[in-house]
Chains A and B, each alone.
Chain A
């Protein structure tokens, strides 16, 4: 091994779409930190795309050293199919290996013409809801589960919850295959009254884009705690001789610097004490539940709701 090789190491971080800006800044911070600490230069390469596609790419052989995806189900699938890392990966880092979180909120048109306040307003006749297909979009599964949990708590039974989500999805005029397509439908094509969105993306839309003046965010009374988890792909990291760097890369996500960055990029930090006060003001108080609380984990939720023949499929079965 030559000297140059020992001094510069490369990590491949396979992530999903909306983390692009966050990791761009974080990678710089991490390299500086790691260089100061060990004298080793770490260069982080990023791969972004739809979460499901990214997971399949890793299953098919993409040499990821770390994964920072949108839901635990995709990471579970990789572990199960490839054995590249243990299936108890989620217990390796604090807070279920999710260093930053988000939730599902409503994006409505300026002035909120349909007067949408909470989940109940989404099932009213004449209200058009835009959300991607939860079978093809990982992000959209959070939307569905949030609606389900609200209905189950509010109306007290599973049958009522099925009725509620059926009604809601009948109000969906266009079901895109991914979050990008849905954003396009709602923002560019002007279709629909309310867009179910991750909070970080809704905040990005209302603070940065030129469309800022056209939309506002409505926070429902109850929503889901979206936990985009991270893990090291142990076998790859070991083969690439970057195991130490990969572990440190993820642990450093819980540091004050990284937590502040996460809040800056509209994710809720797990350690809010490290974030800027003005960034934190963007996150209103809302009752949040986790997938584990209500559904007993992603595997269970996936099996019952989204797999073929599951609850979601029944919504569209003829004769209902």
Chain B
């Protein structure tokens, strides 16, 4: 296929140049390192690869890693959207400070975050000791891992939803109310459909970050095999044995899962957007 055929008509000049640049950049920054991963893995035979990635301990770690990352991203989806709503729709003293605080989990080295969380939620920490009295163990359990992932994933949803909400025309809500819709109906049928795509973007970013997170989790996880051992730790474990092929095999499996889940999320997003467009078409 020639470039001319690939290109839909556009008034913008410079399509070939900018597409060429985009592909080159993607290849250099994203595909090159990932292909190195695949090449290292290829030193294993298919059956070796399979037995590495389906080992009971590795499978237990996938469940833990993806489970906690999904849960943490879901929590962030709800509460992150809420925070974005408050920041956009209300005026209050110290709003700028609150707004700046949101980004802190990005700025903090993750190991520091892990150590800080253990200091608070550990069995001897101010919150951890109280929770322990109620029979809730946080540090060194999957609960602790989830907590760390909620912490590091928090900014994603807020920062993706916030700009969309800022652009949202309040007149639409007023129109909805004027046409006799209740508050709940307005939220459900007018506001949420508009926000959903950006909420999902934030969700998938937080999820992807959570799956790969190592630094903060390692301090709060306890790292007991089959119970609180995350997949990235198993990769490091393989590397410590100089088993580069085994390490990259697990990394490939992880990457594949993540890609699949991101594709599903993207598909969902596309579907929602199309549905909304149809809906708008009907309205108009």
Contact = CB atoms under 8 A, between A and B. Distances in A.
B239 A56 contact: yes
B243 A308 contact: yes
Nearest to B241: A307
B225 interface: yes
B280 to A, nearest CB: 52
Contacts of A311: none
B223 A174 contact: yes
Contacts of B139: 189
A181 B237 contact: no
B237 A135 contact: yes
Contact of B223 (A56, A133, A190): A133
A59 B122 CA distance: 38
A126 to B, nearest CB: 15
Contacts of B243: 308
A317 to B, nearest CB: 7
Contacts of B140: 173-174
B124 A189 contact: yes
A316 B219 contact: no
A244 interface: no
B212 interface: no
A317 B57 CA distance: 8
A177 interface: yes
Contacts of B118: 185, 189
Contacts of A184: 115, 219
A173 B236 CA distance: 20
A306 interface: yes
Interface in A118-165: 133, 135-138
Contacts of B123: 189-191
Interface in B224-281: 224-226, 233, 236-243, 246
Contacts of A218: none
B236 A318 contact: no
B240 A313 contact: no
Nearest to A184: B115
B56 A318 contact: yes
Interface in A29-72: 52, 56, 59
B241 A188 contact: no
A168 B139 CA distance: 21
Interface in B136-183: 139-140
Interface in B87-130: 115, 118-119, 122-125
A83 to B, nearest CB: 15
Given A181-B218, A188-B119, A77 B240 contact: no
Contacts of B124: 189-191
A300 to B, nearest CB: 15
B222 interface: yes
A318 B241 contact: no
A174 B123 CA distance: 12
A177 B223 CA distance: 8
Nearest to A138: B240
Nearest to B128: A189
A12 interface: no
B222 A173 contact: yes
A189 B226 contact: no
A308 B242 contact: no
Contacts of B223: 133, 174-177
Most buried by B among A136, A173, A306: A136
A278 interface: no
Interface in A266-320: 302, 306-308, 313, 316-318
A81 interface: yes
A133 B237 contact: yes
Contacts of A316: 57, 224-226
Contacts of B115: 184, 188
Most buried by A among B219, B225, B236: B225
A100 B225 CA distance: 34
Contact of B226 (A136, A174, A181, A318): A318
Nearest to B225: A316
B237 A175 contact: no
Contacts of B57: 313, 316-317
A190 B118 CA distance: 11
Interface string A91-123: 000000000000000000000000000000000
Contacts of A318: 56, 226
Contacts of A173: 140, 222
Contacts of A52: 239-240
A177 B125 CA distance: 22
Contacts of B236: 136, 177
Contact of A189 (B122, B233, B237): B122
Contacts of A308: 55, 238, 241, 243, 246
Contacts of A185: 118
A186 to B, nearest CB: 11
Contacts of B224: 172, 174-175, 316
B240 A136 contact: yes
12 contacts: A133-B223, A136-B236, A138-B240, A175-B223, A176-B218, A177-B233, A177-B236, A181-B219, A185-B118, A189-B125, A189-B139, A316-B224
Q: Which 3 A-B pairs have the closest CB atoms?
A: A316-B225, A52-B240, A190-B124
Given A138-B240, A174-B140, A177-B218, 15 more contacts: A52-B240, A56-B242, A59-B242, A173-B222, A174-B222, A174-B223, A174-B224, A177-B233, A184-B219, A188-B115, A189-B118, A189-B122, A191-B124, A302-B241, A317-B57
